[in-house]
Amino acid sequence: MMRYFNRVFKLGRWLILSVCVSILLISLLGVDVQAAVKTAPWMVTFFGPPESPISSAVAVPPIKAYYWTSGTVPPVIDPNAPAGSRERYGDTKTQAIGTLERIQSLLQESGLSLSDVIYLRVYLVADPFKGNTVDYQGWFDAYAQFFNNPTNPVKVARSTLAVAGLVNPDWLIEIEAVAVYPKVGKSFPWYLLFH
């Protein structure tokens, strides 16, 4: 019985230390500490101006478990279309929608949803059908269908990068997502607490 209490006490000390260090780091980085203090210490906290479509930062408490996807790419929309044609994968917006739908399916398989996503890293390639320019607006329009809207008000932290190319020359986008399990429940990976 004493070993159990010692273990709980030790876990509690680490939890308190983690919260204190997190608040210190947040304050050193210039993030709004008042917002972090006002929310419960077990809740994910999003920072940034309300008019922005994305968050400038996200604070995740130590008791939460993360879910990371690998780079997810767009599905073929017309398998009969020749490689290199617009019809095979679509434009940037179409590819982004297909990629976000794939991520949505991956999340659902793990008991999560897009509202649990806290961060996206997006790689965009110049569109040869648009004068070899990167179609940022196509990506922004697709993002708006899945985030920062009445259905899903979450505004993720996000990086969008233009890159020279992806594995398949027909792909115009690849997305990595990071989500956090919202609460301890059936889908929570309990084994992570005891590693």
pLDDT for 59-71, tens place per residue? Answer: 988 888 899 999 9
Residues constituting the chain: 195
Query: Above 70 in pLDDT, residue 32?
Result: no
User: Tell me, what's the pLDDT at 15?
Assistant: 53
Q: Provide the β-strand partners of residue 46.
A: 58
Mean pLDDT, residues 17-26 taken together = 52
Query: Above 80 in pLDDT, residue 28?
Result: no
User: Confidence class of residue 38 from pLDDT cuts 50, 70 and 90?
Assistant: very low
Enumerate long-range contacts of 45-50, CB under 8 Å, 24 or more apart: 46/118, 46/154, 46/155, 46/157, 48/155
Strand 117-125, strand 157-163: pairing: parallel
Exposed, middle or buried, 118 (CB in 10 Å: 0-12/13-18/19+)?
Answer: buried
Distance CA 72, CA 23 (A): 33
Distance CA 59, CA 47 (A): 8
Angle at the Cα of 108 from the Cα atoms of 172 and 120, rounded to 5 degrees: 40
Report yes or no: 179 and 66 within 8 Å, Cβ to Cβ. yes
pTM score above 0.95? no
Enter the tokens of residue 160: 């969008």
Domain ranges of the chain: 64-194
Estimate the share of the chain in helix, then strand, then coil, as percent rounded to the nearest 5: 40, 20, 40
Fold of the CATH domain 64-194: 60s Ribosomal Protein L30; Chain: A; (3.30.1330)
